[in-house]
Amino acid sequence: MIEVPRKGGDAMSANETRLTAFQWRIFALCFGLVMLDGFDTGAIGYVAPSLLPEWGLTRPALAPVLSAALFRHVIDVDLVLFVE
């Protein structure tokens, strides 16, 4: 458990403290980044049916584009785990 020092010299656990405004801002920033990170996958799935006739592609020809977005997510997760 993480110990946070108090003014009196004794320590209290991190579970007993409130989050500061800075910590809430960091949480909101991380939440927003994670939410936007998956937006491209959802957007391409929504737009893909209209891209087929526009670009003159068949469904199998568009498969590498759709799978590339998912493959990028796998690489992102591996990089994050490697860095930590």
Q: What is the largest CA-CA distance in the chain?
A: 72
Q: What residues does each domain of the chain span?
A: 1-32, 38-84
Q: How confident is the model at residue 6 (pLDDT cuts 50, 70, 90)?
A: low
* pLDDT (0 to 100) of residue 76: 72
Looking at per-residue pLDDT, the higher value among 41 and 15 belongs to: 41
CA distances from 79 to 39, 82, 83 (A): 19, 5, 6
Contact 11, 4 (CB under 8 A): yes
Query: Average per-residue pLDDT in the chain?
Result: 78
Question: What are 22-62's pLDDT values in tens digits?
Answer: 999 999 998 888 888 778 778 888 888 898 899 898 989 88
Residues of the chain with pLDDT > 90: what percent? Answer: 13
Is residue 5 within 8 Å of residue 11, measured between CB atoms? yes
